[in-house]
Structure 1
Amino acid sequence: MRTEFDYVIVGAGSAGCVMASRLSEDPSVSVCLLEAGGRDRDLRIHVPGMLGEILGSRGNNWNYYTAPQLHLDNRRLYWPRGKVLGGSSAINAMCYSRGDLGDYDDWAEAGAEGWSAMEALHWFKKSEDYSAGEDQWHGQGGPLGVTKVFKGHPATDQFVKAGIEAGLRRIDDFHAGSREGIGVFDTTTRDGKRCSAYTGYLGPSVRDRSNLTILSGAMVRRVLVDGTSVKGIDAIVDGEAKELLAKREVILCAGAINTPQLLMLSGVGPAGHLSVYGISSVIDLPGVGENLQDHLDISLLAQSEPGKTIGYSLQSMGQMALALGEYAISRKGLMTSNLAEGCGFAKSQEGLEKPDIQLHFLPGYSDRHGEEKFIGSNGITLHACHLYPASRGRVRLGSANPAEHPVIDPAYLSGEGDLEALIAAAKLIAEIARQPALAGYVDKWLYPDNLDRTDEQWASFIRARAETIYHPVGTCRMGRKDDEMAVTDSGGSVYGATGLRVVDASLMPSIIGGNTNAPVMMMAEKISATMKEA
């Protein structure tokens, strides 16, 4: 096996697939992409309507848990993260959302130069293959299939109507101008199938490039650092220890959890913390692992008449069997739905510059990450999350053993105003749920058992029930060199190191106001283009 390349990329998720695809466009450049997980052969990955099955599966997954959360009844929250070619883009809900364009201006003002709203928009369009065609806000012909969904499940249509009855306006395109309102998600699908970063950016014609090597089942243990120069990586490949050398750069695309863990295992991070585990400090960077942010989500679940929504009643199972047959024949019908169809953005209080609450609606049960199946029943789920939390957590080593999970502490609800904003979010979805349009889908409330609650009761419900909605970011943030907590410059190059770069969600200085998958691919588009121009 070849052991020397121009670029060695760690992690074949949303960023790594983009980087491998774009850098290998130059036939004179050799690229190696490593993924700890396996191939994306699981059928459930590719059929959008099987979202609940793939997300609730313990396969293709790192199966992380947080540290006990003080403000969430000391619960340890489950954090599924993709461990498969495509990373989390292979197991997510396929919701295409860019955040608020103003979020990127905030990055630039915070020291991440070159990340303004208009610059970000250019790279979003570059990545996109929009089913409704190119316009001011969308691109066509890019690797990432994005499908405009004009009509969802009947229950989703009623959710949108209920939002309008509650005072929100209908939004047909959440990426064109103001997005405050309610509608349905665009989805990262193409021709009725999931379009992950792997299937979108590393299709057969790209995978067959002679200058691109893709290694799955490759567990990277550390980055090889000589002084301040990075030489390559140490990994277990097919059960054997290998050193893969990088003539130009090692690029870490392992995500907001694995990337800081890998840096710290390699001696790059807060020196005092590394010494606890007997790891010699090579580059003292106190910001590695700090600044962890995530969207905390609360959901309301109602039971519906059997067969009326997607579920595990006898009536629904018959419908699903028919839907699978239709999908197998035509790639159409219910199984092309990402299930997380309904979307909305709203403000938790008057006077805010931009919406700070995001809504998700599913015409079925969505609880405990798909692990609870509610056999024999049907229902609906209304989600709401707080988009701009003040809480800041961290990722720390729990061991010097690369095979052991790091300590993940998002410090949920520790920031000022976060609990109050999530209470407002819960009250908003409760108000939508009360509207006449949804009455036909609510036989009784399960979680909570009623919607008439005081703020104190909502707070107790949140502490007992709130969960991640899968958007961890910020643990190797971009910033100015004189900012001691910045880990990289605005191009992802790690301060103090030569030949080491980070490209993934850990770069985000602050969390964006939406789902993080598309923004991570946008970031990789921009950084890879800058590297090719250098």
Structure 2
Amino acid sequence: MDYVIAGGGSAGCVMAARLSEDPSVSVTLVEAGRVTRDPRLRLPAGLPESMHARLADWDFATVPQPGLDGRRIRTPRGRALGGSSAINAMCYARGSLKDYDDWGHGWSGAEALRWFKASEGFRGPDADGGGQWHGHHGPLTVERPATIHRATERFFDGAAHTGHARVEEFCAEGPDGSGRDGVGLFDRTTDRGLRGSVDRAYLPAEVRARPNLTVRTGAQVAHVLMDGTRACGLRLLDGTEVRARETVLCAGAIGTPHLLMLSGIGPADHLRAAGVTVALDAPGVGGNLQDHLDVSLMLRTVGSAAFGYGPAMLPQALRGAWDWLRHRRGLLASNLAEGQGYARSRAGLDRPDIQFHFLPGLGEDHGATRNWGRAGVSLHACCLYPRSTGTIRLASADPADAPLIDPRYLSDEADLAVLVAGGRMAAAILSAPSFDPVRVGWHRAAPPDPEDRAGWEALVRARAETIYHPVGTARMGAPGEGVCDGMGVLHGARGLRVVDASLMPRIVGGNTNAPVVMMAERIAAGMRSDA
């Protein structure tokens, strides 16, 4: 075997598809989850089910977080072919191109844009009509919604009332980082009314039928097989082995460092304490954990004005089903996270550090709380460039035990200031006149007065949650500084590479799924050119 890939998430699907394009090499992809056939995961509007029903989720949670009133924060991660793209909100965003300039190690905004376009099959108008910002021939279908919920238009109107510009194309960015400040539609990874997960984009039936590609699902990896510091393949939980010339870890920012440490690659003292024999002392493994923390405000509305559960919402649900059956559009084709926006928490920043997600529904507790009989809207404000960093550590040497996830949210109080600023902006938007005709009242307690800094800080600590973007736990960097080089090759090991969000040295200023696909495209192309 030439390549064995651990993890069939977004990066793993891209790597399997691209590497197996060369018929002279053999590739095996190993994924712990299954192929997702549940209709709740295929319908975009099934997002609340995908987030809380544990249909294709590892069901992780953090250790108690002192910065968040001691709460354990649920951390959904996809356990299915397609990984988190099988359960996420289908939001297509790239961050700022300046983010990739900051990475170094062979990465840049120009390189990132090249590979974003290579991966993308965009269905929508280019900002300049000439394909400067979007690709139209890549596997990953990206759509701009033709119809949106009326509540999302109220969000745009409320944002305009409070001084936020309308942005038509968030990918069109000036060299000074300008162009993204304001609100507008999310592009989304949907395909004619269905979720466009990365496995369906990159591993359709004709690709999976390649004779040089084997896709094994329902097979959890126990650890990497090591001969000294050389990786020789994977051992699965059932005891079987898959040996290969090169092992590629694509298990994500939580799974990849967990797997490395189970294999004896990580901070030596921690490994010994957990009962793992050290193969390679790599202090950076499992460190540098970064995530986007998010605070949401929710406004209750009259039943017909937003999405909800209960008799009052039945007419719009029936209309949505009719629209979807006839035209593959409407409510059921919506990913719910229709509106987005970017803002700066203070003057002098070179790029926005706050992101908004607007949903025409009450998105409480990751969608687990149904609020039967109530309708409303949610506006999330996210800290895009957190200074707080945490760790992934072993709970034990047993591969079946979940790792210890400690993002150390708000351990740097600069992040608290950004979230307070974002929360104030969100409260102002939801208080705008555009919502007055449908307003019932705040869901949960009303937000504090804008000048009540202590009240806002307490609200953030009590309500903030992850918005599902962990990165950085096997970061690229020079030897002694990072875990891997810029192409994911692990320092000090042979035949071992990391390709997923754990490779990011610094989190990007936006949703992370599209950047992971882009990274895998670039690294796979580099591997093929070097072969």
Q: Same fold (TM over 0.5)?
A: yes
Q: Which runs of 4+ in 1 moved over 4 A?
A: none
Counterparts of 2:34 and 2:309, CA distance in 1: 29
What are the Cα deviations for residues 426-479 of structure 1, in whole angstroms up to 9, with x where unaligned? 001111111111223321002332452511101111111100000000000000
Counterparts of 1:170 and 1:33, CA distance in 2: 43
Counterparts of 1:428 and 1:407, CA distance in 2: 34
Contact 2:275 2:396 in 1 (8 A): no
Q: Work out which of the residue numbers 273, 276, 289 in structure 2 matches 1:276.
A: 273
Contact 2:258 2:394 in 1 (8 A): yes
What are the Cα deviations for residues 156-212 of structure 1, in whole angstroms up to 9, with x where unaligned? 011011111111110001101211111110001111111111011111111111111
Contact 1:448 1:461 in 2 (8 A): no
Counterparts of 1:62 and 1:190, CA distance in 2: 26
Contact 2:448 2:456 in 1 (8 A): no
Q: Work out which of the residue numbers 22, 30, 45 in structure 2 matches 1:49.
A: 45
How far does residue 150 in structure 1 lie from its aligned partner after superposition? 4.4
How far does residue 318 in structure 1 lie from its aligned partner after superposition? 3.5
Q: Work out which of the residue numbers 106, 113, 138 in structure 2 matches 1:114.
A: 106
Which residues of structure 2 form unaligned runs of 5+?
A: 174-178
Map of 1:456 onto structure 2? 454
Counterparts of 1:349 and 1:380, CA distance in 2: 26
**Which residue type is aligned with residue 458 of structure 2?**
S
Map of 2:507 onto structure 1? 511
RMSD of aligned C-alpha atoms?
1.1
Contact 2:448 2:455 in 1 (8 A): no
**Which residue type is aligned with residue 397 of structure 2?**
A
Contact 1:393 1:410 in 2 (8 A): yes
Counterparts of 2:17 and 2:123, CA distance in 1: 22
What are the Cα deviations for residues 90-141 of structure 1, in whole angstroms up to 9, with x where unaligned? 1000000000110000101xxxx22100000000000000002561000001
Identity between Structure 1 and Structure 2 (%): 52
Map of 2:200 onto structure 1? 199
Counterparts of 2:150 and 2:361, CA distance in 1: 12
The residue correspondences of 1:51-450 to structure 2 (distance < 5 A) are 51-108=47-104, 113-132=105-124, 135-177=131-173, 178-236=179-237, 240-246=238-244, 248-450=245-447
SS of the residue 1:379 aligns to? strand
SS of the residue 1:55 aligns to? helix
How far does residue 77 in structure 1 lie from its aligned partner after superposition? 0.5
Counterparts of 2:145 and 2:329, CA distance in 1: 12
**Which residue type is aligned with residue 386 of structure 1?**
C
How far does residue 343 in structure 1 lie from its aligned partner after superposition? 0.3
Map of 1:25 onto structure 2? 21
What are the Cα deviations for residues 45-102 of structure 1, in whole angstroms up to 9, with x where unaligned? 1111111121121220001010110111010000011001110001000000000110
Contact 2:23 2:212 in 1 (8 A): yes
How far does residue 416 in structure 1 lie from its aligned partner after superposition? 4.0
Structure 1 stretch 500-509 or stretch 50-59: which is displaced more? 50-59
SS of the residue 1:291 aligns to? coil
How far does residue 375 in structure 1 lie from its aligned partner after superposition? 0.4
Counterparts of 2:16 and 2:320, CA distance in 1: 36
How far does residue 229 in structure 1 lie from its aligned partner after superposition? 1.0
How far does residue 313 in structure 1 lie from its aligned partner after superposition? 2.3
Contact 2:122 2:143 in 1 (8 A): yes
Count of matched residue pairs:
520
Return the TM-score normalized by structure 2: 0.96
The yes-or-no answer on 1:471 pairing with 2:472 is: no
How far does residue 506 in structure 1 lie from its aligned partner after superposition? 0.2
**Which residue type is aligned with residue 123 of structure 2?**
S
SS of the residue 1:478 aligns to? coil
Counterparts of 1:277 and 1:455, CA distance in 2: 43
Counterparts of 2:270 and 2:447, CA distance in 1: 47
Counterparts of 1:73 and 1:478, CA distance in 2: 33
Structure 1 stretch 318-327 or stretch 373-382: which is displaced more? 318-327
Counterparts of 1:442 and 1:339, CA distance in 2: 19
Structure 1 stretch 329-338 or stretch 187-196: which is displaced more? 329-338
Contact 2:261 2:285 in 1 (8 A): yes
How far does residue 344 in structure 1 lie from its aligned partner after superposition? 0.2
Map of 2:176 onto structure 1? none
Contact 1:288 1:487 in 2 (8 A): yes
Counterparts of 1:268 and 1:317, CA distance in 2: 54
Return the TM-score normalized by structure 1: 0.96
What are the Cα deviations for residues 370-423 of structure 1, in whole angstroms up to 9, with x where unaligned? 000000110000100000011010000011100010000000001141111110
SS of the residue 1:9 aligns to? strand
How far does residue 485 in structure 1 lie from its aligned partner after superposition? 3.6
